[in-house]
């Protein structure tokens, strides 16, 4: 099983910025897609942003122009730069990575979640 470790969440004022990181353990041959999802209290978990192995990205309409997803393949890490944050962005953010392990098995793993709270 691939373990994902998230970091970077916290409390920020409206209009502020945060950068989330999600690093995977090293028993990986290839990572295909990487993504960030979020879940607010009482709501379902929704896609925020996704990036493929080729670097193609897609974003939820609500974050376009404010959030940027990127990846460092050498570090098996995906990032989410969040700017112009609003209270509506408050949620637990989860990363997801899927790909192929060194011994050929496929995997799809989730991070433990990191809280992002936007409040004055």
Cα within 13 Å of Cα(67), Cβ side: 28
Rounded Cα gap, residues 28 and 72, in angstroms:
14
Hunting for tokens 């929704």 — which residue is that?
A: 46
Q: pLDDT tens per residue, the chain (120 residues)? A: 789 999 999 999 999 999 999 999 878 888 899 999 999 999 999 999 999 999 999 999 999 999 999 999 889 999 999 999 999 999 999 999 999 998 889 999 999 999 999 999
Rounded Cα gap, residues 120 and 102, in angstroms:
46
Question: What pLDDT sits at residue 102?
Answer: 87
Hunting for tokens 């942003």 — which residue is that?
A: 49
The torsion angles phi and psi of 66, rounded to 5 degrees, stand at: -115, -35
Describe the chain by its helix, strand, coil percentages, rounded to 5.
10, 55, 35
Bridge-partner residues for 98, per DSSP? 108
Question: What pLDDT sits at residue 41?
Answer: 92
Hunting for tokens 């989410």 — which residue is that?
A: 80
């Amino acid at each position: 099983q691939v373990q994902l470790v998230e970091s970077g969440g916290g409390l920020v004022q409206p209009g502020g910025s945060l950068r989330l990181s999600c690093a995977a353990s090293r028993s990986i041959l290839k990572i295909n897609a990487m993504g960030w999802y979020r879940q607010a209290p009482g709501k379902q978990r929704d896609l925020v942003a996704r990036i493929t192995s080729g670097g193609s990205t897609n974003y939820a309409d609500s974050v376009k122009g404010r959030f940027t997803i990127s990846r460092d393949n050498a570090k098996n890490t995906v990032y989410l730069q969040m700017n112009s944050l609003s209270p509506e962005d408050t949620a637990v953010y989860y990363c997801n990575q899927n790909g192929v392990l060194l011994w050929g098995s496929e995997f799809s793993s989730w991070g433990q979640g990191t809280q992002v709270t936007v409040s004055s």
